[in-house]
Amino acid sequence: MTLSPISLAISGDAPGSWTELTLFRFGPPDARRKVYLQAGMHADEQPGMLILHHLLPLLAQAEAEGRLSARFSVVPMANPLGMAHVLHRTHMGRYDLGTGVNHNRRWPDLFAMIGETVAPLLGADPKANIAAIRNAIAEWLDTQSPASAGQQMRLALLREAHDADYVLDLHCDDEALPHIFTAPECAAPMHKLAGWMGGAYTLTAADSGGFSFDEMLPQLFRLLAKAHPDKPIPIQPVAATLEYRGRADTFDALAQKDAEGLIGFFVGEGLIAADPVTLPEPAPAPLPLDATEIVRVDAPGLVAYRVGLGDRVKKGDIIADLVALSGPEAFIARTPIRAGTDGIIISRLTQKYARRGTSIAKIVGETPLPGRVGGYLLED
């Protein structure tokens, strides 16, 4: 069993600088289906990197035993540029330091790029339509001339992922329970994966408003299907952002279990041959992302929580107090922060100093919230 990394060179924006993007490929080259996995898009989130570290030998073993019925492409560190973004001993890997753009936002609007080009190629065969759309993406990629290292990296990742049937982007939150962000069309398979992730919550949105990596390809197929209702265009791929708990949850035991959970999911999807496996307990039913409240504070202060992860709250319950840090009641007054919906506390803030507008918690609810429907649904 051997692991053979493939290295892609990214020329830097400064003189003499280069960065290495590493990926691994497994499975029969002629396999009909393909799985793409990446971690570290937000370079300061390491749990996913460790999970893929543990997944690699499992895939290599399955390949050596002839049990892979799909191609697997794995990028354990999707954002090597962000690994260098350290300021005063603090890793700043979520945002591009040059542009200030979140690395997982503003990915290309592929419908705008290729929608007109692919339209005359669509017909009555759904498989042929999928192939035509993927070929159009590949041809568009070949025409691009990246102007920066960041654009080179993005194009390399999209080139590796564009023809996959499954696109899984591994992330983590600050302090959180495991959860999944996915499109409504992908909810059924991702609900299965949620069980393998330990009962994760599956939160669905057709468009979160951020043009994130996992939404890019399903959004293209969705818009093409809407523009051409007389043509059969299945939504492709099954894509999701997998939030593996919090930043501090980077441990071998957890990562090994999570890697085995991914293998279990792949077996269930017929992507890896194996003896029947014991299915995990079902995860909670998928819920709309616009029913999740992002609780923000309207003044700076110290956050003193009254709730823990997994606690169920009702609208109006006090979930934390905000201790004043300035003014006549500095270090005396405590302002209660109340839940705006019924639901489960899925995430909290680890740094207890919060500036005005800081998100201190997310509450997974069931009923879409005013102001969230049709709006920007992400934290930042």
For the stretch 69-99, pLDDT in tens is 999 999 999 999 999 988 899 998 999 988 9
| Cα of 138 vs its chain's centroid, Å | 22
For the stretch 235-294, pLDDT in tens is 999 999 999 999 999 999 999 999 999 999 999 999 999 998 889 999 999 999 999 999
| Cα of 155 vs its chain's centroid, Å | 17
CB 56 within 8 A of CB 49: no
Tell me the sheet residues that pair with 182: 204, 240
pLDDT band at 128 (very low <50, low <70, confident <90, very high): very high
- Indicate whether 193 pLDDT > 90: yes
| Cα of 23 vs its chain's centroid, Å | 18
Describe the crossing of helices 252-268 and 187-196 by its angle, rounded to 10 degrees: 140
Of the two residues 3 and 365, the one the predictor is more confident about is 365
For the stretch 38-57, pLDDT in tens is 999 999 999 999 999 999 99
DSSP secondary structure letters along 207-261: --SS--HHHHHHHHHHHHHHH-TTS------EEEEEEEEETT---HHHHHHHHHH
- Indicate whether 2 pLDDT > 80: no
CB 28 within 8 A of CB 71: yes
What is the overall mean pLDDT for the chain?
96
For the stretch 337-378, pLDDT in tens is 999 999 999 999 999 999 999 999 999 999 999 988 878 888
Task: Sort 318 into a burial class: Cβ within 10 Å, 0-12 / 13-18 / 19+.
Answer: middle
Q: Are residues 333 and 237 both part of a single domain?
A: no
Rounded mean pLDDT of 178-193?
98
- With respect to residue 320, please indicate whether it lies within any of the assigned structural domains: yes
> Pick from 42, 41, 4: which is nearest to 23 by CA?
4
Percent of the chain with pLDDT over 70: 99
Q: Are residues 276 and 299 both part of a single domain?
A: no
- Copy the structure tokens of residue 230: 């007389």
Q: Are residues 276 and 294 both part of a single domain?
A: no
Q: Are residues 165 and 249 both part of a single domain?
A: yes
Q: Which of 18-32, 56-70, 363-377 has the lowest mean pLDDT?
A: 363-377
The whole-number pLDDT of residue 1 equals 59
Q: Is 51 helix (H, G, I), strand (E, B) or coil?
A: helix
Q: Are residues 115 and 43 both part of a single domain?
A: yes
> Pick from 35, 40, 41, 23: which is nearest to 62 by CA?
35
Percent of the chain with pLDDT over 90: 92
Q: Are residues 69 and 207 both part of a single domain?
A: yes
- With respect to residue 1, please indicate whether it lies within any of the assigned structural domains: no
The whole-number pLDDT of residue 87 equals 87
The whole-number pLDDT of residue 223 equals 98
Number of domains in the chain: 2
Q: Are residues 327 and 196 both part of a single domain?
A: no
Q: How open is the CA angle 179-34-256, to the nearest 5 degrees?
A: 45
Q: Is 199 helix (H, G, I), strand (E, B) or coil?
A: coil
